[in-house]
Amino acid sequence: MRISPIAGVILSTILSTSAEAQRPVCMARPDLLEHLAERYGEVPVAFGITNSGGLVEVLATYDGATWTIIVTSPQGTACIVAAGEGWRRMLNLPEPNLGPRT
């Protein structure tokens, strides 16, 4: 199957745009948190630690209109890995009991 030159240009543009859109935005964590708070009004609402020691955080606006997920390396560089609209909390979990394990 042969692709026409015009189709090739269109396909190349789509693929390069897709690859470019997938590049994460990375910077020092404090700078990224400040940017997301000032520009979108997002604040951290959930977090967890990865097996490799990274910090995963979900940031969202108070009303959940927008949200962003960032991952911060142990060295302090944070990258946006996903963002969107309509954040909703699904569970209302009780506070964990952090007493001694038996």
Tokens of 57: 């955080």
pTM above 0.75, yes or no: no
* Strand 55-60 relative to strand 26-28, pairing: unpaired
Q: In angstroms, rounded to a whole number, what is the distance separating the alpha carbons of residues 5 and 50?
A: 46
Contact residues for 58 (Cβ-Cβ < 8 A; gap 6+):
44, 45, 46, 47, 67, 68, 69, 87
**Within 27-98, where are the H helices?**
29-40
Domain boundaries, the chain: 25-85
pLDDT at 9: 44
Q: What is the pLDDT along the chain (102 residues), one digit of tens a residue?
A: 444 444 444 444 444 444 445 677 999 999 999 999 999 999 999 999 999 999 999 999 999 999 999 999 999 999 999 999 998 887 776 666 656 655
